[in-house]
Amino acid sequence: MPEQILQVSDLTIRFGGLVAVDGVSFSVPQGGITGLIGPNGAGKTTIFNAVTGFLAPTGGRILFAGQDVTRRKPHELAALGLARTFQHTSLFPDLTVRQNVWTAMHLALPETFWQVLATPPRRHPDGEQRVQEILDLLELAERADQAASSLPYGEQRKLEIALALAVKPRLLLLDEPAAGMNPEEAQRLTETIQQLRRLGLTILLVEHNMRLVMGVCDYIHVIEHGRKIAEGAPSQVAHDPKVIEVYLGRRGTNA
Amino acid sequence: MRAANLSFFAISAAALVLPLAVTNPYYLHTAIAMMVNAVLALSLNFILGYVGEKSLGHAAFFGIGGYTAALLALNLGVPAWGTLLAGGVVSGLFGLAVGFPTLRLRGPYFAIATLGFGAILQLIATNWTSLTKGPMGIPGVPPLAFAGLIFRNERPYYYVALLLLALAAYLTWRLAHSRIGRAFVAIRQNFDLAESVGIDTFRFKLAAFVLGTVLAGVVGAFYAHYTNFISPKALESYITLNVVTMVIIGGEGTLIGPILGAILVTLLPEVLRVAENFRLVIFGFILLLTIIYAPSGIVGLARAAWQKRGGERLA
């Protein structure tokens, strides 16, 4: 069994009297793509926000690379190698594409306050090269000098992934990357995600789009009403009667 | 960028020789007031402009610097330059005390805390008469001196003010083009995303704020020495409003913007010669127009005009 990069055990999140997530446990193995699926309001994004530090869980434990990271802040998790994208497009809108990626390289270019004040501005050839690599990988190089807010939707979502890659993640969490995409854009996104897998990245994918999930995931956890109801390989999950009933059966394949 | 470099050197040279050509003390005084305002605007610009947190008590930090310098010089005989440093340090400590609990929180808490802090400090300066001599203020703050030479007219103060402005401008320029400045802007542009790419938002917000309060304290101390006087008027909320106006009409989060704003806000009343009470109305009106029609200030307008002409993108 490969090493588990992320282990979530008995995660519970309550908002007042509402139990949004009820004792969910799952783990993400090193390498490959794990999916977290479930109908709207199942609690997927709530789990996601707890894992990335944006939400303090009521109970349970989150281990990242063997370290207990429950209730750590998002920037601390980023420093440990956990990067995320957001469900709603989230960029630095007024900065150019290149400046966006530069800004996301924050952790890779440590400069202290005194270093900044005492030395003239210097170039960071390694950093610049890395930014270029990321732009090339996501086919954004031609757009490098455009403001992020001026990009077409599909490319904005790609830029989000570029920003997450700039963090040098050991685990990349994608929150509904295909949300709002047309089938063609979703297809291109699938190719991008496949490409990231080939680079050896470990990905946890929260997604609605079943075609995308079935197409790229190695293993899937199904959430419904804040509980885990099934897990397994895509073909297994697709034939699980419980899953068909609560998810696929009722909502169609959403493809 | 050549043209920009050229105009930078031209303006610097002009600023250096100005006091040699201009001897009228009124003009020199106006120039000093302008530079003091510019430093104050640049000091607020870190937190308000780059990071985008509403700091609404900036005059308090200017006043803390002034009172620190006055009290240290008069009661303990601390030499003049030490008081400038002390003004910055004390002001920065107050900034730390205000920012530490409130900048962690999201929402209007920081704005409310700074607003309240400004009001409270003015009350203290007015009512703690045994320390501050109350509303009368503290007269007789000794002038600055250098190498045994006591500064008795405007000219040497002009150069000290210019030095402070150069320092503030250098800090702004250098930070803006560093990882730290990028982190500031990232926080303003998208807080959650800034956190998720590893930026310790609390730390950078606090750094921007404390840096600004230190600078405001230094320039406050300078102003107390220059006018030989400090009173609770230095902490009044209209001064905060003036500084906020400078930053916003000039262009938040830029180097040139707050300086242009300071020039405008200092000169306008001198040129218009309007009654003091009327100034606030006019500034309020200008501020409103700016926020509605030119949210990126003069610099934003200039940039848009430049790009329309098909010019290169300004950094």
pLDDT value, residue B310: 64
Question: Exposure string (b/e) for B40-52, b if CB count within 10 Å is 16 or more?
Answer: bbbbbbbbbbbbb
Q: Do A111 and B200 touch (CB under 8 A)?
A: no
pLDDT value, residue B100: 96
- Structure confidence by residue, pLDDT tens digits, A89-145: 899 999 999 999 999 999 988 888 888 888 877 788 888 999 999 999 999 999 999
Whichever domain contains B259, its CATH number is: 1.10.3470
Query: For residue B143, is it within any domain?
Result: yes
Residue B69 has pLDDT above 90, yes or no: yes
The whole-number average pLDDT for the span B198-216 is: 96
Amino acid (1-letter code) at residue B103: L
Mean pLDDT, chain B, integer: 90
Query: For residue A118, is it within any domain?
Result: yes
Instruction: Look at residue A178 and give its three-state secondary structure.
Output: coil
The continuous run of DSSP H or E covering A22 comes out as strand A18-29
Decide: B203 and B194 in contact? Cβ < 8 Å: no
* One domain, residues A152 and A39: no
For the residues of B56-117, what is the DSSP string, one character each? --HHHHHHHHHHHHHHHHHHH---HHHHHHHHHHHHHHHHHHHHHHHTTS-STHHHHHHHHH
* One domain, residues A144 and A67: no
Q: Phi, psi at residue B126, to the nearest 5°?
A: -80, -35
Q: Do A92 and B193 touch (CB under 8 A)?
A: yes
What is the distance between the alpha carbons of residues A29 and B114, in angstroms, rounded to a whole number? 48
Taking the CA of residue A173 and the nearest CA in chain B, the distance in Å comes to 11
Q: 3-state secondary structure string, A184-251?
A: HHHHHHHHHHHHHHHCCCEEEEECCCHHHHHHHCCEEEEEECCEEEEEECHHHHHCCHHHHHHHHHHH
* One domain, residues A63 and A118: no
Range of A137's domain?
A: 91-168
Q: How many Cβ contacts (< 8 angstroms) between chains A and B?
A: 87
pLDDT value, residue A243: 82
Q: Do B178 and A116 touch (CB under 8 A)?
A: yes
With residues binned 3-state (H G I as helix, E B as strand, rest as coil), the percentages for chain B, rounded to 5, are: 80, 5, 20
Query: For residue A110, is it within any domain?
Result: yes
β-partners of residue B230 are B138
pLDDT value, residue A213: 86
* One domain, residues A173 and A197: yes
The whole-number average pLDDT for the span B136-153 is: 87
Range of B223's domain?
A: 2-308
pLDDT value, residue A178: 86
What is the distance between the alpha carbons of residues B97 and B75, in angstroms, rounded to a whole number? 25
* One domain, residues A130 and A150: yes
- Structure confidence by residue, pLDDT tens digits, B284-294: 888 899 889 88
Which of A116, A157, A161, A171 should be substituted to probe chain B, the one whose Cβ sees the most B Cβ atoms within 10 Å?
A: A116
Instruction: Look at residue B312 and give its three-state secondary structure.
Output: coil
- Structure confidence by residue, pLDDT tens digits, A211-255: 788 889 999 999 988 899 889 998 888 888 888 887 655 544 444
Q: How many domains does chain A have?
A: 2
Instruction: Look at residue A34 and give its three-state secondary structure.
Output: strand
Query: For residue B313, is it within any domain?
Result: no
In this structure, what token pair is assigned to residue A227?
A: 């509980």
* One domain, residues A48 and A159: no
Query: For residue A255, is it within any domain?
Result: yes
Query: For residue B61, is it within any domain?
Result: yes
* One domain, residues A253 and A182: yes
pLDDT value, residue B3: 75
* One domain, residues A188 and A159: no
pLDDT value, residue B153: 87
Q: Do A116 and B182 touch (CB under 8 A)?
A: no
* One domain, residues A98 and A37: no
Query: For residue A86, is it within any domain?
Result: no
pLDDT value, residue B311: 55
Query: For residue A22, is it within any domain?
Result: yes
Residue B295 has pLDDT above 70, yes or no: yes
Out of B171, B190, B197, closest to residue A167 by CB: B197
In this structure, what token pair is assigned to residue B103?
A: 């900048």
Question: Higher confidence at residue B203 or residue B21?
Answer: B203
Query: For residue B314, is it within any domain?
Result: no
Q: Do A111 and B179 touch (CB under 8 A)?
A: yes
Q: Do A93 and B189 touch (CB under 8 A)?
A: yes
Decide: B199 and B186 in contact? Cβ < 8 Å: yes
pLDDT value, residue B303: 86
pLDDT value, residue B274: 66
- Structure confidence by residue, pLDDT tens digits, A33-67: 999 988 888 888 899 999 999 999 999 999 999 89
Please tell me the total number of residues recorded for chain A in this structure: 255
Q: Per-residue confidence at B1, pLDDT binned at 50, 70, 90?
A: low
Query: For residue A227, is it within any domain?
Result: yes
Q: How many domains does chain B have?
A: 1
* One domain, residues A8 and A40: yes
Q: Which of A146, A168, A190 lies at the terminal end of a domain, its last residue? A: A168
For the residues of A75-123, what is the DSSP string, one character each? HHHHHHTEEE--SS----TTSBHHHHHHHHTGGGS---HHHHHHS----
Q: Do B193 and A90 touch (CB under 8 A)?
A: yes
**Residues of B contacting chain A (CB within 8 angstroms):** 171, 174-175, 177-180, 182-183, 185-186, 189-190, 192-201, 207, 313
Residues of chain B with Cβ-Cβ distance to A73 below 8 Å are: 195, 200
Decide: B257 and B298 in contact? Cβ < 8 Å: yes
pLDDT value, residue B314: 46
Could you give the maximum distance between any two Cα atoms of chain A, in Å? Answer: 66
pLDDT value, residue B287: 87
Q: Which of A111-115, B78-82, B127-131 has the lowest mean pLDDT?
A: A111-115
Residue A72 has pLDDT above 90, yes or no: yes
Amino acid (1-letter code) at residue B54: K
In this structure, what token pair is assigned to residue A141?
A: 């190089």
User: Where do we find the tokens 């218009």?
Assistant: B272
In this structure, what token pair is assigned to residue B39?
A: 């430093």
pLDDT value, residue A115: 83
Decide: A192 and A161 in contact? Cβ < 8 Å: yes
Residues of chain B with Cβ-Cβ distance to A91 below 8 Å are: 190, 193
Q: Which of A118, A145, A168 lies at the terminal end of a domain, its last residue? A: A168
Residue B206 has pLDDT above 60, yes or no: yes
Residues of chain A with Cβ-Cβ distance to B175 below 8 Å are: 116-117
* One domain, residues A77 and A201: yes
Taking the CA of residue A243 and the nearest CA in chain B, the distance in Å comes to 32
Residues of chain A with Cβ-Cβ distance to B200 below 8 Å are: 73, 75
Q: Do A92 and B171 touch (CB under 8 A)?
A: no
Residue B218 has pLDDT above 60, yes or no: yes
pLDDT value, residue B150: 86
What is the distance between the alpha carbons of residues B205 and B211, in angstroms, rounded to a whole number? 10
Decide: B217 and B91 in contact? Cβ < 8 Å: yes
β-partners of residue B229 are B139
Which of B105, B180, B193, B254 should be substituted to probe chain A, the one whose Cβ sees the most A Cβ atoms within 10 Å?
A: B193
What is the distance between the alpha carbons of residues A134 and B167, in angstroms, rounded to a whole number? 37
Query: For residue B192, is it within any domain?
Result: yes
Out of B189, B200, B313, closest to residue A92 by CB: B189
Query: For residue B70, is it within any domain?
Result: yes
Nearest CA in chain A to B168: A117
Question: Higher confidence at residue B216 or residue A44?
Answer: B216
Q: Per-residue confidence at B237, pLDDT binned at 50, 70, 90?
A: confident
- Structure confidence by residue, pLDDT tens digits, B148-193: 788 888 889 999 999 999 999 999 999 998 999 999 999 999 999 9
Query: Which among A22, A20, A5, A29 is positioned nearest to A60, based on CA atoms?
Result: A22
Instruction: Look at residue B236 and give its three-state secondary structure.
Output: coil
In this structure, what token pair is assigned to residue B158?
A: 């002009």
Residues of chain A with Cβ-Cβ distance to B201 below 8 Å are: 75
* One domain, residues A147 and A51: no
Taking the CA of residue B230 and the nearest CA in chain A, the distance in Å comes to 31
What is the distance between the alpha carbons of residues A192 and A147, in angstroms, rounded to a whole number? 22
Out of B179, B192, B197, closest to residue A166 by CB: B197
Which of A73, A75, A84, A168 should be substituted to probe chain B, the one whose Cβ sees the most B Cβ atoms within 10 Å?
A: A75
Taking the CA of residue A124 and the nearest CA in chain B, the distance in Å comes to 11
What is the distance between the alpha carbons of residues A219 and A177, in angstroms, rounded to a whole number? 18
Decide: A65 and A49 in contact? Cβ < 8 Å: no
Q: Which of A113, A143, A168 lies at the terminal end of a domain, its last residue? A: A168
Whichever domain contains A33, its CATH number is: 3.40.50.300
